[in-house]
Amino acid sequence: MTTTHVALFLSFAFLFYAAQGTKVTLNNKCSYTVWPGTLTGDQKPQLPLTGFELAPGASNSVDLPSPWSGRFWGRTGCSESNGKFSCATADCASGQIACNGAGAIPPASLVEIFVAENGGQDFYDVSNVDGFNVPISVTPQGGSGDCKTSSCPKDINSLCLADLQMKGSDGNVIACKSACLVYQKVEYCCTGPNNKPETCPPTNYSQFFEQQCLDAYSYAYDDKSSTFTCSNRPDYVITFCP
d(C-alpha 84, C-alpha 97), whole Å = 9
Show the DSSP H helices in 69-226 as ranges: 179-183, 186-189, 204-212, 223-226
For residue 200, how many other CB atoms are within 10 A of its CB? 21
- Residues 6 or more apart from 166 whose CB is under 8 A from it? 89, 107, 131, 173, 174, 175, 176, 177
User: How far apart are alpha carbons 130 and 10 in whole angstroms?
Assistant: 44
Supply the mean pLDDT for the chain.
92
The DSSP output letter for 208 is H
Nearest to residue 224, comparing CAs of 215, 232, 235? 215
Please list the ranges in the chain whose pLDDT falls under 50: 1-19
Q: Which of 157, 185, 191, 188 is nearest to 171 (CA)?
A: 157
The domain ranges of the chain are 18-240
Q: Do the Cβ atoms of 33 and 75 come closer than 8 Å?
A: no
Contact 34, 72 (CB under 8 A): no
Cis previous bond, 153, omega within 30: no
Percent of the chain surpassing pLDDT 70: 92
Q: Where are the alpha helices (DSSP H) in the chain?
A: 3-20, 179-183, 186-189, 204-212, 223-226
| Residue pair 13/51 in contact by the 8 Å Cβ criterion | no
Q: What is the third-level CATH fold of 18-240?
A: Thaumatin (2.60.110)
Residue range 35-92, pLDDT digits in tens = 999 999 999 999 999 999 999 999 999 999 999 999 999 999 999 999 999 999 999 9
The pLDDT of residue 21 = 79
Q: Is the model's pTM score more than 0.95?
A: no
Task: Determine the pLDDT at residue 147.
Answer: 98
Confidence at residue 20, expressed as pLDDT on a 0 to 100 scale: 58
Cα 93 to Cα 104, 106, 194, distances in angstroms: 8, 12, 30
Question: What pLDDT, on a 0 to 100 scale, did the predictor assign at position 225?
Answer: 85
Residue 144: DSSP 8-state: B
